[in-house]
Structure 1
Amino acid sequence: MEIRPIHNERDYKEALQTVSRLVDVDPEPGTPDGDRLEILATLVERYETEHFPLDLPDPVEAIKFRMEQAGLSASDMQPYIGNLNRVYEVLNRKRGLSLSMIRRLNRELKIPAEVLIG
């Protein structure tokens, strides 16, 4: 089993091809192919994190997304943000989120705090 670090785009593409083939085979964990898949997947993930970092979503877009997911209206957001006027101000980007709003949105709607802090 020859596994080496991913140093460049060529290495990355080769590793992706190998991972794809191994995923199609679906090897059992602990087998040589299963171990190879696990190690290569870790190397690919590391390379992608370093070379293709993902930005956190916009806080307001994250709130709107969670509202859509849960079928919540602006009035449903009052316990987390405040009166309806304040909800609309936040959703229209005319008011920022306070620390207490961030805590409630994180605790109750499970929106990650690091996204809400933005």
Structure 2
Amino acid sequence: MNIKPIRTPEDLAAALARVDQLGLTARDLEPFIGSSGRVSEVLNHKRKLSLAMIKRLHEGLRIPYEQLLAGV
């Protein structure tokens, strides 16, 4: 039996709320997430945030780990 973890939108919602607060764009997420293609995959729920991405988002945008880890 292959059980996949339920992907909740809380991690992405937290990041996007903070991005909106700061007036940032998807391009501004590239230093935290990676290439524009990777940012697009994350924003479109085709790729989960990696632990490295979570750490960079936490350190760079001060998003609490608890919010970023909600979907991991």
- TM-score between both structures, scaled by the size of structure 2: 0.82
Which is helix-richer, 1 or 2? 1
Distance 1:111 1:91 in 2: 16
Instruction: Quote the residue 1:62 is aligned against.
Output: 14
Instruction: Quote the residue 2:54 is aligned against.
Output: 102
Higher relative contact order (CA 8 A, sep 6+): 2
Letter in 1 for 2:40: Y
SS in 2 for 1:104: helix
Moved over 6 A (4+): none
Consecutive unaligned residues of structure 1, counting only runs of 5 or more, are: 1-56
SS in 2 for 1:96: coil
- Deviations, residues 49-73 of structure 1 (Å, cap 9, x unaligned): xxxxxxxx70111111111000000
Count of aligned pairs between the two proteins: 62
Letter in 2 for 1:111: I
Consecutive unaligned residues of structure 2, counting only runs of 5 or more, are: 1-8
Counterpart among 25, 31, 34 of residue 79 in structure 1: 31
Deviation at 1:114? 1.1
Letter in 1 for 2:51: L
Distance 2:31 2:15 in 1: 14
Q: Which entry has the higher C-alpha Rg, 1 or 2?
A: 1
Alpha-carbon RMSD across the aligned residues, in angstroms, is 1.0
- TM-score between both structures, scaled by the size of structure 1: 0.51
